[in-house]
Amino acid sequence: MAIDKKAIEEHIRGILIALGDNPDREGLKDTPARVARMYEEVFEGMNYSNREIATLFDKTFEEDLDTETHFEDMVIVKDIEVFSYCEHHMALMYNMKVSVAYIPNGKVIGLSKIARIADMVAKRLQLQERIGSDIAEIISMVTNSSDVAVFIEANHSCMTARGIKNTSARTYTTTLRGRFESDPSLLARISVNH
């Protein structure tokens, strides 16, 4: 699905009129086009399904990996910084940090690919909970590991800038798959060692 920048421009122009402003005044005349370009960038992930994202970042390494005798080895990438937009208010989710852990199953993914997957998943109209499950699903597809954990913390401007206006509230979500769901010692290893 391609993002329709022309339609976005038309709708932003309509929103400006609905707000009681003049979209033809100097400060606003290029705003619809600027917003359309911004949306194309910040919602890039909407162009891809989870399977397509997995294909985009399916670069793994198999050599020198002994997962048969070292089945408790774990890969952890912490504090990947991303941002997203809440699908309920189209409000910014910011100061978002994503941490991903998985237990290799014969191959490992390039570390930068984990950050790229998190970034692409966040570039959609999202819920924080779904960001975690989408990342877990894609990491699982790429690595063939069913043992994946995703931890996310973020501020939500739908809570900090409107409504309750609680600027210190942070939301934490945890997505656990495979052995991370059933073996608490794996979670303890993540928090103790890192």
User: Pairing state of beta strands 75-86 and 125-126?
Assistant: parallel
The catalytic residue among 11, 44, 89, 153 is 89
The catalytic residue among 70, 87, 129, 194 is 87
The DSSP letter of residue 143 is H
Taking the C-alpha atoms of residue 38 and residue 148, their distance in angstroms, rounded to an integer, is 32
Whether 86 is catalytic: yes
Taking the C-alpha atoms of residue 88 and residue 177, their distance in angstroms, rounded to an integer, is 26
The catalytic residue among 52, 70, 88, 129 is 88
Whether 156 is catalytic: yes
Whether 70 is catalytic: no
Whether 87 is catalytic: yes
- 3-state DSSP call for residue 37? helix
Q: Which residues contact 58 (CB under 8 A, 6 or more apart)?
A: 141, 142
Which of 103, 191, 85, 179 is closest to 139 using CA atoms? Answer: 103
Q: Are 100 and 81 in contact (CB under 8 A)?
A: no
- 3-state DSSP call for residue 44? helix
The catalytic residue among 9, 126, 137, 156 is 156
The catalytic residue among 86, 129, 137, 181 is 86
**Active site positions, annotated:** 86-89, 128, 156, 158
